Amino acid sequence: MGQRFTVPFDLGASDSWWDHYGFALPDQIAGAAPAAELISERLTLVIGEPWIGKSYVSQTLHRTLSDRSTRFVERVSLEEGDHTVLPHWWTPWRNSSEEAWWIIDALDEALHVSHVSLSDVFTPLLALGPQERNRLHVIAFSPTTSPSRLSSSGLRIVVECTPQYVVSCPSTQMKPHGSSKHQKGSTAS
């Protein structure tokens, strides 16, 4: 996955994040984590500016999990026009005791396309019992610069409708290792 990493969404940048050339130093950022660690999250929303590599990371996570012979793993891309949001393995997985990974790329597309809605994404989650919820990993990617746009439309529904499951959805920002504070998205050579 190269040099991409995530940081908590509400973490404000500091001058200590950058080297003297203006490139990010992940080891200087409290809370920075390699993007590969997203696999361990239960429910997370990854926010990143356009062209920072969100789709690449979602594809790489999917490939990594598939290479592990993980039986229940699915990546849908709303940007690429995937019409079926619910994973094809949903019912067999619910009847199993195995973990599953559902990777949703371009979640924000559900706000303005006609073939899928945020309800299509979140309604199945609301139907899960606590044991099922503990076996499911949902990693959603969005270029939206503020999670509040999605939260007001859908993520808050999950949190508010499932207080008995204590569902939390941390939002993280995705950053490449070579991100420059002066030229966002540039990489160090």
pLDDT in tens, 159-168: 333 333 333 4
pTM over 0.85: no
pLDDT of residue 187: 33
By DSSP bridging, strand 171-176 and strand 4-8 are: antiparallel
Mean pLDDT of 99-111: 85
Q: What is the band of 185 on the pLDDT scale with cuts at 50, 70, 90?
A: very low
Task: Evaluate whether residue 185 is within a structural domain.
Answer: no
Task: Evaluate whether residue 64 is within a structural domain.
Answer: yes
pLDDT of residue 75: 93
* Number of domains forming the structure of the chain: 1
Q: What is the band of 82 on the pLDDT scale with cuts at 50, 70, 90?
A: low
By the 10 Å C-beta count (0-12 exposed, 13-18 middle, 19+ buried), 87 is classed as buried
Find the helix or strand (DSSP H, E) in which 55 lies.
Answer: helix 54-67
Task: Evaluate whether residue 12 is within a structural domain.
Answer: no
Q: What is the band of 85 on the pLDDT scale with cuts at 50, 70, 90?
A: confident
Task: Evaluate whether residue 106 is within a structural domain.
Answer: yes
| Sheet with 136-142: strands ordered across | 33-34, 4-8, 171-176, 43-47, 136-142, 100-105, 73-77
CATH at residue 112: 3.40.50
Task: Evaluate whether residue 177 is within a structural domain.
Answer: no
Cα 114 to Cα 110: distance, rounded to the nearest angstrom? 8
Task: Evaluate whether residue 70 is within a structural domain.
Answer: yes
What is the Cα Rg of the chain in Å? 17
Task: Evaluate whether residue 135 is within a structural domain.
Answer: yes
DSSP letter at 152? I
Name which residue leads in pLDDT, 73 or 10. Answer: 73
pLDDT of residue 88: 92
Which domain range does residue 82 map to? 41-167
Task: Evaluate whether residue 16 is within a structural domain.
Answer: no
Q: What is the band of 183 on the pLDDT scale with cuts at 50, 70, 90?
A: very low
Mean pLDDT over each residue of the chain, to the nearest integer: 74
